[in-house]
Every structure is written in structure tokens, then in C-alpha cells.
Amino acid sequence: MSSSLVDDVGRVLWHGFPGPEVTPELRAQIARGHIGAAIVFKRNLRVEAVAGPVPQEVTDTAALVELNRALHAAAPADLPLLIAVDQEGGVVQRVRAPATQWPPMLAHDNHPPDVDRALAREVGAALGRELAALGFDVDFAPVLDVHTNAANPIIGDRAFGHTAATVTRRALACAEGLAEAGMLACGKHFPGHGDTVTDSHLALPRIDHDLARLEAVELAPFAAAAAAEVPMLMTAHVVFAALDASVPATLSPAVITGLLRERLGYRGVIVSDDLDMKAIADHFGVGDAAVRAIRAGCDVLLLCRDPAHQAEARAALIAAGERDSEVRRRLGEAAARVRAMASAHARQRSAAPPGGLEAVGAIAHRRLADRLAGRVG
């Protein structure tokens, strides 16, 4: 078994983990370079329910900082670990109070076009400053899906707008703010999850719009994100009949390589959505899906929950890389992109270290959240 193959597989696998501590097993995986990034979920936080007129959940930020410090410290100096989180606003924000609680990003509809872009950039920068202070490197945001279907069970008010133009203007401004704060942004879910009636966590959605409609609506924000060089884009586990009627976008060379890489000219890191989701795990099997996603052009594979799936994906990638030169080439290409991004991020963090915990829940940030929500002028 090639050591370089093992190293490359380690860069492309980004894992969730159980509990609020770095276990000896997790520390060993990181130290061996078997994980390119750790993904933090609510289950990894120490959270206390606080009663009152408005009950709320309060995150132990000191414990979170220590968790992220321990994760970073477990990695070899030449293989820095990235730490990622989903912190969008609204229903998808893992870190609760005292961090600023942002309204859903569709709240930008409260503001006119001459204001919303600047506001979105301010929100991204404030959100990024808080995450950076807590020790995070990656925010799986902004959502680039266009909210065109009121029956959509998974996107809804997570979107930045109801039209391609509003989503593009606001979401890319938010990504600029995250970058300003030293965070790596990840736009999602390519080529667009906004008009599904099925949740890909639970089943395999399908969109039957023709290519002209996809180009005008779903694809437009992603084309702009590619041109703006957003560092990461996440795929959707959705079948787009006009692009590839046989498999979801995550597993489709026509969608990931042909459309995103070649036609749209995207040069950043392409991240699969979670392969644990039923749209993938129940239809393709995680090991096979991992290999197919790499063949399709993905650079990073998310495996957020199941340790057995994580082990299955790793074994399948190593086996495929050993027997198939094209898979081996793609793994090397994908790992090189991840290494380059992580190294550039480490240099930026060294040159401009994050601020302290005073940023978390700062009064100015809470006022900005109120402004976004339309609670103040």
C-alpha cells in the first residue's frame, strides 16, 4: 500500500465525531493524517438549557475553544487539521448563545437592494469573527440555493432570496465577509436544492426542469460563486434530469467535472454533501458512493455521523486507488487542492490571528442581527 495514497485519502475524508471530547481514537486518527477536517455538530458541544421568560440553550464557549484547540493540536505540523461547522443562521447554527443568534438569511428580504448587499457582507464578517475566535476554520455557508418552492422541506428560509439575482447579490457578499474575517466559506448545494419537495437527508430528490430554467435560476448563483473564487462549493444529492438523469449530482461526472469544473471554470475545492444521508447511503452504499464521488470530480467527502461508514469509505478509496490509476490520479489531484487551501489558510491565520472571545455575542453583532431581522431600523 502506497503511503502517498493513504495520505491523499486522509486529506479528502472530512469526519464528524461523537461527543464533546477528543478521544484517544480520534486523536490517533488525526495524528496519522487519516482525517483532513473535523466537523463540529451540536452533539460535540457542552450545552445547558437555561429557563426564563424565553428559554434558551447556552453553549460553554470555553469548552468549545478547548475542544478545537485539542483537535488542532492533535494534527502533525505538516498536515494541519481544518475544523468545520454549519453556522448559517436561523435553524442551522450549531453554536448557540452566547454566540450571536442570527435570523434566517431570508430575512434579507426585509431590506432594499441598495442596502442588502452591504448588510450581508457585515453579517458574514461578524459571523466569521465569532467562529474564528472559537477556533473554527470553515463555515459551511452561505446557502446559494434559490427559494422557489414553498413546499421545499429542507431549504426554505435558509436561502438568501426567492430569485437568482437576490441570492447571488446577498450570498456572495456574505462569503466576502466570511473571508474578511479569516474564515473559509463553502457555498451550497450545487447545482441547486431550492426547488425540491424531498429532503435529501431522508430520500433522493429529483428536479425535472429543463436546462434553460436551470441556467436562469438554479445555476446562476453558483456560476457567480465560481467567478468570484469562493474557496469551496458543496454538492447536492439531487438528480437533475436535464444534466444527468441517472445519478445525483454528487456522483455525476457530467455535473461535477463537465459543468462545474469545465463549463463554469470553478477552480476551488468541491465538497460532497454528507454521504451518510439517505439519498446516498440507502441507494448506492457509502463505499461505492465515495469512489464514484471522487471519480465524478469531488475533492472532499463528508462523512458526518457513522464511524462504520467512515471506515467503509476509507477502505473503498484505498482499494480503488490501488487498482485503478484514474482513481489514484483523482485522489492525488483532490488532496493537492485541499492541501493548498489548508496551507494558504494557515498562512493567513498566522499573519492575522483571530480576535478573542469578546467577539462572541458582541453587542455590535447582536444589534446587527436585530437589524437584519427587522427588529430595529
Q: Catalytic amino acids?
A: 273
* 89: β partners: 92
CB 58: neighbour CB atoms within 10 A? 14
Task: Give dist(CA 239, CA 204) in Å, integer.
Answer: 7
Task: Give dist(CA 76, CA 16) in Å, integer.
Answer: 19
- For cell 470530480, the residue is 297
DSSP 124-180: HHHHHHHHHHTT--EE---B------TT-SSSGGGSS-SSHHHHHHHHHHHHHHHHH
- For cell 448563545, the residue is 97
Torsion of CA 142, 145, 151, 157, to 10 degrees: 30
- For cell 429557563, the residue is 51
Closest CA to 276 of 248, 309, 313: 309
Contacts of residue 365, Cβ cutoff 8 Å, sequence gap at least 6:
100, 126, 129, 130, 359
Task: Give dist(CA 182, CA 180) in Å, integer.
Answer: 5
Task: Give dist(CA 261, CA 311) in Å, integer.
Answer: 29
* 85: β partners: 40, 139
- For cell 462549493, the residue is 233
* Secondary structure (3-state) at 311: helix
